[in-house]
């Protein structure tokens, strides 16, 4: 039993609670509570990723031991994949909170902001730690409801419209997920992920199985904004305050969407080839359509939001290639390479996309507009913002030596080795269009116009914002180190092993 596991949920919940009670009386207490909570979580998540290394540790909530080998309590499971996701969530969360110190002071009721932020982090940590299907749903709703409120934080016309759209589609997604859970419980009579795999057996009833898979895929696909389900994402992610956009785009769609799809389809279901091909197709589709929708945008944050769809397409496509190979039971080393590429790109996307959203927030903070046509020549006034956004733009478009290059390279190599030449071609073309789109962003925002420096010209943003952006920029470079075999074996390899071999996940949980 790992005593750290419940802290990932309990500490941010307590933080939200304390903020709401004491935040009103002591000035600036709310932001320090938020910072301390996230700092603590980040430290214990780094500790976990170092110590977990291939083991699976289980925490039984309330100490309910299994009876006759049947798990009856709620299980929280920490394995390597979970540890990676926890690191992403809490690192980006920490930097977003620090960034909010000055950014959110433009808004009223900061107390609610920090309380909702802690709740959202608690929900996401819960989703990735949970080993129980219904518990995933509950934590998903905690993070979703707090993100609905945070998207509408400005309570202006656009934010309200965006949050309404987000809530209706998010509610629909939750219902599909709940219906899927109901159908699973009907046949399996259990909710524990590992136990479901055992209960449904190796030769499940085909129609029921497919129905459940489709319900859960569309539910979590809505949460992850894979292409046919993407309508809410550009609105919600562009209307939210910038640190929240960074959290939504950088973390929420991964923790609540992609992670759960990975966990369910690799560890709970037996992957069938049809479903794997469907997932790959959806991934390739969102990769291509997302980038074409992005290229015509003039609003920075909408542009970035469409790129989120496209970059998530890379992850889904790559993981889907891995799934196809696992289902065919051929070329395990190529399958593990494809999954490695997907996971690596997931980590990288968290770093550079949150950085880009923080840059967009910094520009909006100083200029007051998000329209690319109304800016220009900012590089001489805001050197830190300009240089970090250059780093992030190069990383997302896959220019060496930044992290995005290596993950895209692995994805493309894996697709070629698996003989999916068309997918590799699409990935290359999308990467080139992404580069073009970010060239446009760089040019219109930071260059393009010669402006004389005078008193009215914009200054660099305050220290907390600069510090967060620079840290993320350095992370974009450092994450390239994950491509080295020594580092990859510690971080990525155990997670891939867990996904490829679900027995490694099931045995420790059921105590077999």
Q: Which residues bind another protein (CB under 8 A)?
A: 134, 137-138, 141, 145, 148-149, 152, 155-158, 160-165, 167-168, 171-172, 174-175, 178-179, 181-182, 185-186, 189, 191, 234-235, 239, 296-297, 302
Alpha helices of 296-380 — where are they, by DSSP H? 300-328, 332-367
Radius of gyration of the chain (CA): 22
SS3 132: strand
Residue placing its CB nearer to another protein in the complex, 156 or 333: 156
Which is nearer to another protein, 162 or 312 (by Cβ)? Answer: 162
Q: Which residue has the tokens 């799934």?
A: 323
- Provide the CA 16 distance to its chain's centre, in angstroms: 22
- Residue 4 or 172 having the CB closest to another protein: 172
Residue 62 CA to residue 190 CA, distance in Å, equals 18
Contact 84, 129 (CB under 8 A): no
Other CB atoms within 10 A of residue 178 CB: 15
Query: Burial, 322: exposed, middle or buried (Cβ in 10 Å; 0-12, 13-18, 19+)?
Result: buried
- Tell me the H-state helices in 132-272: 133-151, 157-188, 193-200, 206-224, 232-239, 242-247, 259-262
* Closer of 121 and 466 to another protein (Cβ): 121
CB 54 to another protein: min, Å? 33
Smallest separation, CB 320 to another protein (Å): 28
Task: Compare residues 79 and 195 and give the one whose CB is closer to another protein.
Answer: 195
Residue with tokens 């967060």: 468
Rounded to the nearest whole angstrom, what is the least distance from the CB of residue 165 to another protein in the complex? 8
Buried/exposed 293-316: b ≥16 CB within 10 Å, e otherwise: bbeebebbbbbbbbbbbbbbbbbb
Rounded to a whole number of angstroms, the minimum distance from the CB of residue 148 to another protein is 6
SS3 breakdown of the chain: % helix, strand, coil, rounded to 5? 80, 5, 20
4 versus 61: smaller Cβ distance to another protein = 61
Q: Of the candidates 4, 77, 16, 11, which has an alpha carbon nearest to the alpha carbon of residue 46?
A: 4
Q: Would you list the DSSP string of 84-119?
A: HHHHHHHHHHHHHHHHHHHHGGGSS-HHHHHHHHHH
Q: Which CB sits closer to another protein, 119 or 410?
A: 119
Given the complex with another protein, which of 133 and 355 has the nearer CB atom? Answer: 133
- Distance in Å, CB of 398 to another protein, minimum: 26
Nearer to another protein, 152 or 394 (CB): 152
Q: Rounded to the nearest whole angstrom, what is the least distance from the CB of residue 158 to another protein in the complex?
A: 5
* Closest CB to another protein among residues 175, 481: 175
Letter string b/e over residues 415-426, b meaning 16 or more CB atoms within 10 A of that residue's CB:
bebbebeebbeb
Q: Which residues contact 76 (CB under 8 A, 6 or more apart)?
A: 5, 6, 9, 58, 59, 60, 61, 129, 130, 131
User: Please, what is the minimum distance in Å from the beta carbon of residue 491 to another protein?
Assistant: 34
Q: Report the residue number, 194 or 418, with the smaller CB distance to another protein.
A: 194
Q: What angle, rounded to 10 degrees, do the helices at 503-510 and 193-200 form?
A: 110
- Shortest gap between Cβ of 80 and another protein (angstroms)? 30
What is d(CA 176, CA 189) in angstroms, rounded to the nearest whole number?
A: 19
Q: Provide DSSP, 284-300.
A: HHHHHHHHHHHHT--BH
Closest approach, Cβ 246 to another protein, in A, equals 20
Backbone dihedral region of 189: left (phi > 0), alpha (psi from -120 to 50 degrees) or beta?
A: left
Shortest gap between Cβ of 199 and another protein (angstroms)? 14
């Amino acid at each position: 039993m790992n005593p750290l596991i419940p802290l990932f949920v309990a500490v941010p919940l307590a933080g939200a609670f304390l903020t709401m009670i004491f935040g009103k009386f002591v000035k600036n207490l709310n932001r320090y509570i938020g910072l301390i909570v996230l700092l603590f979580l980040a430290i214990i998540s780094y500790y976990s990723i170092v110590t977990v290394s291939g083991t699976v540790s289980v925490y039984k909530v309330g100490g309910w031991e299994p009876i006759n080998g049947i798990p009856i309590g709620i299980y929280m499971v920490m394995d390597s994949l979970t540890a990676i996701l926890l690191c992403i969530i809490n690192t980006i969360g920490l930097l977003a909170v620090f960034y909010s110190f000055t950014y959110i002071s433009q808004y009223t009721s900061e107390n609610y902001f920090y309380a909702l932020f802690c709740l959202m982090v608690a929900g996401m940590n819960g989703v990735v730690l949970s080993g129980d299907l219904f518990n995933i749903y509950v934590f998903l709703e905690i993070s979703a409801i707090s993100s609905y409120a945070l998207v509408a934080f400005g309570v202006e016309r656009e934010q309200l419209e965006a949050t309404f759209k987000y809530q209706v589609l998010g509610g629909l997604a939750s219902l599909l997920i709940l219906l899927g859970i109901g159908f699973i419980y009907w046949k399996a009579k259990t909710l524990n992920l590992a136990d479901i795999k055992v209960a449904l057996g190796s030769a499940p009833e085909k129609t029921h199985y497919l129905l459940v898979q489709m319900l859960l895929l569309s539910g979590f696909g809505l949460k992850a904004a894979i292409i046919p389900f993407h309508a809410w994402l550009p609105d919600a992610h562009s209307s939210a305050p910038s640190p929240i956009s960074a959290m939504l785009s950088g973390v929420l769609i991964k923790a609540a969407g992609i992670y759960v799809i990975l966990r369910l389809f690799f560890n709970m279901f037996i992957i069938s080839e049809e479903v794997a091909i469907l997932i790959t197709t959806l991934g390739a589709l969102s990769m291509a359509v997302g980038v074409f929708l992005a290229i015509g945008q003039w609003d920075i944050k909408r542009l970035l939001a469409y790129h989120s769809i496209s970059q998530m397409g890379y992850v889904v496509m790559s993981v889907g290639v891995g799934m196809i190979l696992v289902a065919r039971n051929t070329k395990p080393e190529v399958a593990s390479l494809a999954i490695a590429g997907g996971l690596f790109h997931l980590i990288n996307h968290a770093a550079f996309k949150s950085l880009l959203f923080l840059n967009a927030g910094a520009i909006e903070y100083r200029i007051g507009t998000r329209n690319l046509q109304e800016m220009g020549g900012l590089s001489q006034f805001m050197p830190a913002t300009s240089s970090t956004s250059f780093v992030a733009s190069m990383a997302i478009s896959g220019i060496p030596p930044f992290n995005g290059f290596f993950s895209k390279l692995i994805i493309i190599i894996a697709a070629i080795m698996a003989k999916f030449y068309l997918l590799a071609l699409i990935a290359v073309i999308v990467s080139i269009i992404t580069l073009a789109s970010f060239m446009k962003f760089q040019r219109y925002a930071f260059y393009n116009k010669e402006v004389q420096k005078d008193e009215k010209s914009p200054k660099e943003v305050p220290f907390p914002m600069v510090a967060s952006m620079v840290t993320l920029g350095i992370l974009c470079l450092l994450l390239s180190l994950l491509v080295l075999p020594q580092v990859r074996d510690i971080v990525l390899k155990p997670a891939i092993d867990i996904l490829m071999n679900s027995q490694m996940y099931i045995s420790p949980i059921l105590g077999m």
